[in-house]
A and B are shown apart, each in its own frame.
Chain A
């Protein structure tokens, strides 16, 4: 069974601060996806990374896929209250459309 460990589990910061969320595994994934989920709603896709070492930027969010495709990070610059939510990483092990999810990081950005 492939597991994804996500840290930290909870993060409460002030508006304007920077933060990084980590997603680690001992297994290799063919791709890794990051989602954000609001209470009572389904996860919304932020980005998909496929190539080892890949870096993708989405406005103030920077996503990185590890060289060995076993880990990933999400960095938010100058966080805003609108960034508040549950951030989930999810790995696709191979050709199967069966995502393995991390436990999530609950981010709260205080004004």
Chain B
């Protein structure tokens, strides 16, 4: 089974621009979560999408948004980029186990998109 894929892997933008990152989950996984990783703050949760709906949201400004398509693929968008948005953006997918199945809803991460804002 192919893993989580993210495109592009590297991106350089300037302040004020906007950017869209893409994530394709593992086949059969219905939930996609996004995380931001920086040296200072570590890994922080951005938001999670399931069935094309945002289910959970972290403590990030409204400039950060996302969406999920019917095939579970997801995109996140950052508008009006700031220098502090430079980070590794990670996407994780999970199967969303139905209630009768046992076990946690483990998240599997993609390789990330390295965004540099100049």
A interface residues, Cβ below 8 angstroms from B = 30-31, 33, 35, 40-45, 48, 50, 88, 90, 92, 96-104
> Within 8 Å CB of B104, what residues of A?
30-31, 33, 48, 50, 92
For chain B, which range describes its interface: under 10, 10 to 19, 20 to 34, or 35 or more residues?
20 to 34
> Within 8 Å CB of B64, what residues of A?
none
Q: Contacting chain A: which of B14-22, B41-49, B69-77, B78-86?
A: B41-49
CA distance A78 to B90 in the complex (A): 31
Choose among B6, B42, B92, B96 the residue that contacts A104 (Cβ–Cβ < 8 A): B42
Residue of A nearest to B10 (CB): A40
Please give the distance in Å from A86's CB to the nearest CB on chain B: 10
B108 and A45 form a contact (CB under 8 A): yes
Please give the distance in Å from A95's CB to the nearest CB on chain B: 8
> Within 8 Å CB of B88, what residues of A?
40
Which residues of chain B from 101 to 118 have any CB-CB distance to chain A below 8 Å in the complex? Answer: 103-112, 114
B112 and A42 form a contact (CB under 8 A): yes
> Within 8 Å CB of B43, what residues of A?
43, 88, 90, 99, 101, 104
> Within 8 Å CB of A40, what residues of B?
88, 111-112, 114
Answer whether residue B24 sits at the interface, using C-beta atoms and an 8 A cutoff: no
Assuming the contacts A42-B4, A88-B43, A98-B48, asked whether A33 and B107 have C-beta atoms less than 8 A apart, the reply is: yes
> Within 8 Å CB of A35, what residues of B?
109
CA distance A96 to B54 in the complex (A): 12
Q: Interface 1/0s, chain B 36-74, versus A by CB < 8 A? A: 000000111100101000011010000000000000000
CA distance A48 to B105 in the complex (A): 10
> Within 8 Å CB of B106, what residues of A?
31, 33, 45, 48
> Within 8 Å CB of A43, what residues of B?
43, 90, 109
8 contacts between A and B (CB under 8 A): A35-B109, A42-B6, A42-B111, A42-B112, A48-B104, A88-B43, A90-B43, A101-B35
B109 and A96 form a contact (CB under 8 A): no
Residue of A nearest to B91 (CB): A42
Please give the distance in Å from B52's CB to the nearest CB on chain A: 15
